[in-house]
């Protein structure tokens, strides 16, 4: 994204009633106030925005793709993960505000004279919702969460089998 154009916006006055695709590449620093860099978004963010206009609505699908940098929650090793997200929004044209109160969050309302749709906030929300709740490495043998120890696996299998046996006995007792 160019510095002189810091917003992700679609001019709806230029759209005709067909499907339009827009591709954007931006950085976390382009979104002021969202603190995306602190959340791990340090690389390029690729956006594909598909807009379909009809007489009374514009359907917008936002697809995000990036690689985010984290640290493992267990062993603090650096990890990079590919993240993607999708958000579908419906912009209703010319709906009176009093009718707009009973709609879902996916529905937005625009004046018939609106020229653009600003997607900055929606892109940031899609990126933040694509973040994993827990980050743990799978290929580090020193990480205790996923490290494989044959003794632990055998004792764990014995615990599971004895637990299953006692459960079967209880089940048979009450039949």
Q: Is 158 a member of any domain?
A: no
Question: At residue 98, does pLDDT exceed 80?
Answer: no
Its sign, for the CA torsion 14, 46, 119, 86, is: positive
Higher pLDDT: 3 or 110? It is 110
Higher pLDDT: 159 or 166? It is 166
- 109, HSE (Cβ side, Cα atoms, 13 Å): 11
Q: Is 103 a member of any domain?
A: yes
The domain of 92 spans 9-137
Mean pLDDT of 113-131: 89
**Residue 12 contacts by C-beta under 8 Å, 6 or more apart in sequence?**
51, 53, 58, 91, 110, 114, 115, 116, 117
pLDDT of residue 93: 80
Structure tokens at 109: 């309302």
The mean of the pLDDT values for the chain is 78
Tally of domains within the chain: 1
Best CA proximity match to 93, nearest among 118, 59, 119, 62: 59
Q: Is 64 a member of any domain?
A: yes
Structure tokens at 53: 């206009």
pLDDT of residue 49: 93
Q: Is 23 a member of any domain?
A: yes
Q: Is 71 a member of any domain?
A: yes
pLDDT of residue 17: 79
pLDDT per position as a tens digit, 145-164: 444 444 455 555 555 567 67
pLDDT of residue 62: 94
Best CA proximity match to 144, nearest among 72, 96, 89: 72
pLDDT per position as a tens digit, 68-79: 998 888 778 888
Best CA proximity match to 23, nearest among 53, 44, 54, 40: 44
Best CA proximity match to 53, nearest among 61, 45, 44, 65: 61
CB 131 within 8 A of CB 65: no
Q: Where are the alpha helices (DSSP H) in 33-173?
A: 120-129, 150-173
Q: Is 74 a member of any domain?
A: yes
Q: Is 171 a member of any domain?
A: no
Local structure of 100: helix, strand or coil: helix
Q: Is 93 a member of any domain?
A: yes
pLDDT of residue 101: 56
């Amino acid at each position: 994204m160019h510095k002189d154009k810091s917003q992700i916006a679609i001019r709806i006055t230029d759209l005709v009633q067909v499907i339009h695709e827009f591709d954007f590449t931006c950085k976390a620093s382009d979104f002021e106030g969202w603190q995306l860099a602190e959340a791990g978004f340090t690389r390029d963010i690729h956006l594909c925005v598909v807009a379909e206009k009809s007489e009374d609505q514009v359907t917008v699908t936002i697809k995000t793709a990036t690689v985010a940098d984290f640290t493992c929650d267990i062993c603090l090793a650096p990890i990079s993960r590919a993240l993607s997200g999708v958000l579908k929004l419906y912009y209703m044209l010319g709906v009176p505000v009093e009718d707009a109160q009973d709609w879902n969050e996916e529905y937005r309302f625009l004046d018939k004279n609106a020229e653009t749709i600003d997607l900055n906030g929606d892109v940031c929300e899609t990126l933040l919702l694509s973040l994993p709740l827990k980050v743990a490495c799978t290929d580090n043998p020193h990480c205790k969460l996923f490290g494989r120890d044959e003794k632990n696996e055998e004792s764990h299998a014995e615990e599971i089998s004895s637990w299953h046996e006692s459960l079967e006995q209880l089940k048979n007792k009450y039949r």
